[in-house]
């Protein structure tokens, strides 16, 4: 859910040293009962306890989300991946420790593995959301990873989002981490996207000719009574309503921080490549909305382990081949930031060990859904599950991304 708690600290400024270089990430997490592994409405006490601990970064923000079983960690502004990973690791450690102290566990997944319910968080804005969407909001427990990349102005942000549209399904396929639907295997790699599709204005954003056109469409949806306010859209990429950034929200909440770093690196490279193309007069291809929707559905269904839809060439291709095409397209931008070695290593790890959805399904198939929750909690906290290597998916090093660092 995109709603931001009204009493949260104000958004941090994201002044970029150069367009397409600064990064910030918001990670949404679920809280589960440590004994039953079902979701638990512990967000209030967990956030209160976490805020008494040393912050993961001076401008990091820890806050509640729509459901009392959800919390969010927002990093400060970073310009290199090792610094971003340090902040991500720090936030997860803080929230995980606070959750354990309150009888819970912190879990990074797109949707709960097991069925359960939790009340909505308090506050006027969340109350308005509850009134508008009723049961949709009451049962909405989807968690995503949002990547912000600095851009010079809002007009540029809209043009960049247009350029990103064909590639958003690939980012989803890489991040797919929500195969369960209330204790049952959904058959999808990302059931979160299917759950989110119930809301108006979801999925791949429309193509807009200007910031004014974008803002007029959002205002129209608010006027029609389907959005609470202009800050509440469900599109998988948008100009941020609060910051001078492009906000990409294609990814499920990711099991490990190195997977989050991979999303951040690819998103920054996409924005940088878009800026280069736009400066040279090369605008985004006009991808038909129906093909964009087909590409998104296919990514949600199969992740990296099946076919994909190339919405530009209008063909069916292996998902890994489309990912390879994206990596080739982004190689110059990834080399410019020093991220290319890390990205190549991370993609190899995903090919070898599977996306989060594959790993969840593997754990659940062997020992049942509660084992999937235990695996997720261990991944989120950075500790290997009993009898397993670290997450059964070792984190690639970040030595090629501006310094020596490893996610847990």
Three-class SS of the chain: CCCCCCCCCCCCCCCCCCCCCCEEEEEEEEEEECCCCCECCCHHHHHHHHCCCCCCCCCCEEEECCECCEEEEECCCECCHHHHHHHHHHHHHHHHHHHHHCCEEEECCCCCCCCCCCCECCCHHHHHHHHHHCHHHHCCCCCEEEEEEECCCHHHHHHHHHHHHHHHHHHHHHHCCECEECCEECCCCEHHHHHHCCCCCEECCCCCCCHHHHHHHHHHHHHCCCCCCCCCCEECEEECCCCCEEEEEEEECCCCHHHHHHHHHHHHHHHHHHHHHHHCCCCCCCCCHHHHHHHHHHHHHHCCCCEEEECCCCEEEEHHHHHHHHHHHHHHHHHHHCCHHHHHHHHHHHHHHCCHHHHHHHHHHHHCHHHHHHHHHHHHHCCCCCCCCHHHCCCCCCCCCCCCCCCC
Does 165 have pLDDT greater than 50? Answer: yes
Does 386 have pLDDT greater than 50? Answer: no
Does 22 have pLDDT greater than 80? Answer: yes
Asked whether residue 404 is assigned to any structural domain, the reply reads: no
Partners of 242 in the β-ladder? none
Q: How many residues does the chain have?
A: 408
Asked whether residue 8 is assigned to any structural domain, the reply reads: no
Residue 164 has a pLDDT of 97
CATH number at residue 51: 3.30.590.20
Q: What is the mean pLDDT of the chain?
A: 88
What tokens does 404 get? 């020596």
Residue 139, class by beta-carbon neighbours within 10 Å (0-12 exposed, 13-18 middle, 19+ buried)? middle
pLDDT band at 383 (very low <50, low <70, confident <90, very high): low
Asked whether residue 408 is assigned to any structural domain, the reply reads: no
Asked whether residue 2 is assigned to any structural domain, the reply reads: no
Does 187 have pLDDT greater than 80? Answer: yes
pLDDT band at 167 (very low <50, low <70, confident <90, very high): very high
C-alpha 307/C-alpha 10 separation (Å) is: 42
Q: Is residue 359 a contact partner of residue 375, using CB atoms and an 8 Å limit? A: yes
What's the domain range around 216?
Answer: 23-392
392 φ/ψ sector (left φ>0, alpha ψ -120 to 50, else beta): left
C-alpha 284/C-alpha 251 separation (Å) is: 21
Asked whether residue 383 is assigned to any structural domain, the reply reads: yes
Q: Identify the CA nearest to 235 among candidates 273, 287, 192, 199.
A: 199
Number of independent structural domains in the chain? 1
**Mean pLDDT within 259-281:** 97
Asked whether residue 131 is assigned to any structural domain, the reply reads: yes
Residue 55 has a pLDDT of 86
Residue 91 has a pLDDT of 96
Higher pLDDT, 396 or 73: 73
pLDDT band at 122 (very low <50, low <70, confident <90, very high): confident
Partners of 309 in the β-ladder? 316
pLDDT tens track for 292-301 = 999 999 999 9
Residue 400 has a pLDDT of 37
Does 2 have pLDDT greater than 60? Answer: no
Tokens 């960049």, residue located: 160
Contacts of 73 (CB under 8 A, 6+ apart): 26, 27, 29, 56, 60, 61, 62, 88, 91, 92, 94, 95
Alpha carbons within 13 angstroms on the beta-carbon side of residue 252 total 36
Q: Is residue 346 a contact partner of residue 356, using CB atoms and an 8 Å limit? A: no
Residue 137 has a pLDDT of 79
Residue 9 has a pLDDT of 39
Asked whether residue 295 is assigned to any structural domain, the reply reads: yes
The total of other beta-carbon atoms located within 10 Å of residue 58's CB is 7
C-alpha 24/C-alpha 27 separation (Å) is: 10
Residue 173 has a pLDDT of 98
**Mean pLDDT within 112-116:** 90
Asked whether residue 398 is assigned to any structural domain, the reply reads: no
Higher pLDDT, 63 or 408: 63
Tokens 């062997």, residue located: 366
pLDDT band at 58 (very low <50, low <70, confident <90, very high): confident
What tokens does 97 get? 């420790």
Does 307 have pLDDT greater than 80? Answer: yes
User: Nearest 5 degrees, angle CA 109-CA 396-CA 94?
Assistant: 50
Task: Report the chain's C-alpha Rg in angstroms.
Answer: 19
């Amino acid at each position: 859910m995109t709603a931001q708690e009204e009493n949260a600290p104000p958004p941090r400024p994201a002044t970029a040293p150069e367009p397409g270089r600064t990064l910030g990430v918001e990670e949404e997490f679920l809280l589960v009962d440590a004994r039953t592994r079902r979701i638990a409405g512990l967000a209030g006490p967990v956030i209160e306890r976490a805020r008494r601990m040393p912050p993961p970064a001076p401008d990091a923000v820890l806050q509640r989300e729509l459901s009392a079983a959800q919390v969010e960690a927002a990093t400060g502004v970073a310009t290199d991946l090792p610094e971003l990973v340090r902040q991500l690791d720090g936030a997860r450690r803080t929230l995980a420790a606070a959750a354990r102290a309150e009888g819970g566990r912190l879990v990074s997944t797109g949707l709960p593995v097991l069925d359960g319910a939790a009340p909505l968080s308090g506050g006027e804005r969340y109350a308005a959301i509850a009134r508008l969407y009723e049961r949709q909001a009451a049962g909405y427990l989807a968690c995503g990873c949002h990547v912000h990349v600095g851009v010079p102005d809002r007009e540029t942000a809209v043009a960049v989002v247009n350029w990103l549209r064909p590639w958003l399904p690939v980012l989803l396929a890489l991040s797919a981490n929500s195969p369960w639907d209330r204790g049952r295997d959904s058959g999808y790699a990302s059931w979160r996207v299917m759950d989110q599709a119930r809301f108006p204005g979801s999925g791949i954003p429309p193509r807009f000719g200007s910031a004014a056109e974008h803002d007029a469409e959002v205002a129209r949806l608010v006027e029609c009574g389907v959005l609470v306010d202009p800050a509440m859209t469900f599109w998988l990429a948008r100009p941020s309503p609060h910051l001078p950034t492009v906000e990409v929200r294609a990814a499920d909440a990711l099991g490990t921080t190195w997977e989050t770093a991979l999303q951040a690196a690819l998103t920054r490279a996409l924005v940088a490549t878009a800026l280069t193309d736009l400066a040279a007069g090369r605008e985004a291809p006009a991808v038909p909305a129906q093909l964009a929707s087909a590409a998104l559905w296919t990514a949600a269904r199969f992740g990296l382990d099946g076919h994909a839809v190339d919405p530009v060439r209008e063909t069916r291709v292996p998902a890994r081949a489309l990912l390879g095409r994206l990596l080739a397209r982004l190689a110059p931008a990834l080399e410019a930031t020093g991220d290319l070695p890390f990205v190549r290593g991370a993609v190899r790890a995903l090919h070898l060990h599977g996306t989060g959805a594959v790993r969840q399904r593997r754990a659940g198939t062997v020992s049942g859904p509660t084992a999937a929750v235990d695996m997720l909690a261990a991944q989120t906290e950075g500790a290997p599950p009993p009898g397993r290597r670290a997450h059964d998916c070792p984190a690639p090093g970040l030595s090629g991304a501006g310094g020596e660092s490893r996610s847990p």
